[in-house]
Amino acid sequence: MRIDGLISELPGRALAPGDDGWEAARHFHSGVGQPDVIVRAASVDDVAAAVRWASAEGVPIAVRGGGHSAWGALPGGLTLDLAALSEVEVDGTLVRVGGGAVWGHVAGVLAQHGLGLSSGDTASVGVGGLTLGGGIGWMVRSWGLAADQLVGVQIVSAAGALIEATDASHPELMWALRGGGGNFGVVTRFDFRAHELPAVVFATLAVTGPAEPMLRALREVMKQAPRELTVTYMDVPPMDPNAAAGASVSACWAGADEAAARAALAPLLALDGVEAVEFGARSYPGILIEAPPAEADQPMPGLIGGNTLLRELSEDAIERLASFRAANPASVLLLRSLGGAYGDVPQEATAFPARDATWFAMAMAFDIPGMLDDAGRSRVAADWDAIEALGDGFYGNFTMSTEPGLVSHMFSADTMARLAAVKREWDPANVFRRNHNIRPD
């Protein structure tokens, strides 16, 4: 691999091991990378130059936005850091967002205009990774996925060409970008159609007692709930640094109508063992969490489990999810309501799986040395497999696995075939393979 030419073409932006700034540049939110070279792009031209070099050398590219992906930890290759491309421009309800922007910054800019976009839950998550993977967030029932608000992109192809794409000019590429991940190029600008959002009503309900009654109550409430309401149930152990220990329900109402939100949540508030810890109108940027970055000397523990998209929250699903959490003290259980605008989008309109799902569910057990033996790991894996069998595909943004075969469980055979056709057109050499990879062959 010849990197001297790249370093001379991008002085100060292309770094090799040992260069000034190398150690800082290889640290990202979820870990520490071990690439062969890092390019901290200062412009779209820098991105194009880096892609042309990687294509010529046959080097895989890991694109870094917010840095929450596990792909940045794989050894070798080129890490393309887009952090400097973070500008946000607002033109009425059309919002142009740089490919390296993070959602906290975008939400803050939009709030100044009384606008919002359906994004993730975490301020430091990158716009690019979340959107290209679909993007389930607090407004998923109101406005759909982050990808559903996408109306155009500026993208650097595997050949290093700069393309302006919309549904009119490149319909198959846009279809693939809405859920197919970073397989098709480096998106340097996302164009979204935003929505009016003066404020949100946010509630946190502490829950004590067994999980099953609350999950049943949530199921019934969300069957009739206005689409302004999205809820999350979460139960975490004391060891998880990202949330308070125990079970809780978080609810977001898209708008400032606190009375309407209280009316929708009244059946939950009336249950024994439920206490409203927080309930009131807030700015949307104010509800995005600040997840702490990974500590380099404390690598993430192993995890056994996964996520799935459920057409219904059946009794079988409730019992299996609750049992998984109860049987594994060091485990996390999370469910988020779907439906509403998410389900309005026809399955064939985007690459994202399971548009008929009404719940997203995740159950993960920590595999910490001394906690599980081989028999225990097998038991947990079997319990998860039984839960996964109830769903239809999974959400790629909520897995830290980089296993190559995982993508075949994400999409249907028809969607995989259509994605592969787009891949053959835009990246026949599979330069963009540090992702849930759609192979061109």
* pLDDT greater than 60 at residue 70: yes
Distance of CA 40 to the CA centre of its chain: 23
* pLDDT greater than 80 at residue 386: yes
pLDDT of residue 111: 98
User: Is 153 in the same domain as 173?
Assistant: yes
Q: Is residue 438 part of a domain?
A: no
What CATH code is carried by the domain that includes residue 152? 3.30.465.10
The span from the CA of 303 to the CA of 393, in Å, is: 19
What CATH code is carried by the domain that includes residue 252? 3.40.462.20
The span from the CA of 144 to the CA of 343, in Å, is: 8
Question: Across all residues in the chain, what is the average pLDDT?
Answer: 95
User: Is 187 in the same domain as 207?
Assistant: no
User: Is 74 in the same domain as 221?
Assistant: no
Q: Is residue 220 part of a domain?
A: yes
User: Is 367 in the same domain as 278?
Assistant: yes
* pLDDT greater than 90 at residue 420: yes
Q: Which of 150, 36, 48, 127 is nearest to 434 (CA)?
A: 36
The span from the CA of 87 to the CA of 96, in Å, is: 8
Q: Is residue 441 part of a domain?
A: no
| Domains held by the chain: number | 3
Per-residue model confidence as pLDDT tens digits over 329-374:
999 999 999 999 999 999 999 999 999 999 999 999 999 888 899 9
Range of the domain at 227: 200-398
The span from the CA of 265 to the CA of 64, in Å, is: 39
Per-residue model confidence as pLDDT tens digits over 164-175:
999 999 999 999
Of 177-186, 241-250, 380-389, minimum mean pLDDT range? 241-250
* Secondary structure (3-state) at 162: strand
Q: Which of 46, 81, 116 is the last residue of a domain?
A: 81
Per-residue model confidence as pLDDT tens digits over 274-319:
999 999 999 999 999 998 888 877 767 789 999 999 999 999 999 9
* Secondary structure (3-state) at 224: helix
User: Is 247 in the same domain as 374?
Assistant: yes
Mean pLDDT to the nearest integer, 211-224:
97
Query: Alpha helices of 251-398 — where are they, by DSSP H?
Result: 258-269, 315-327, 341-344, 374-388
DSSP letter at 395 equals -
User: Is 331 in the same domain as 208?
Assistant: yes
Whether the CB-CB separation of 37 and 78 falls below 8 Å is answered with yes
Confidence of residue 241 (pLDDT cuts 50, 70, 90): low
Q: Is residue 364 part of a domain?
A: yes
User: Is 95 in the same domain as 75?
Assistant: no
Whether the CB-CB separation of 367 and 299 falls below 8 Å is answered with no
* pLDDT greater than 90 at residue 405: no
User: Is 381 in the same domain as 262?
Assistant: yes
Per-residue model confidence as pLDDT tens digits over 308-335:
999 999 999 999 999 999 999 999 999 9
The span from the CA of 224 to the CA of 206, in Å, is: 22
* pLDDT greater than 90 at residue 21: yes
User: Is 189 in the same domain as 204?
Assistant: no
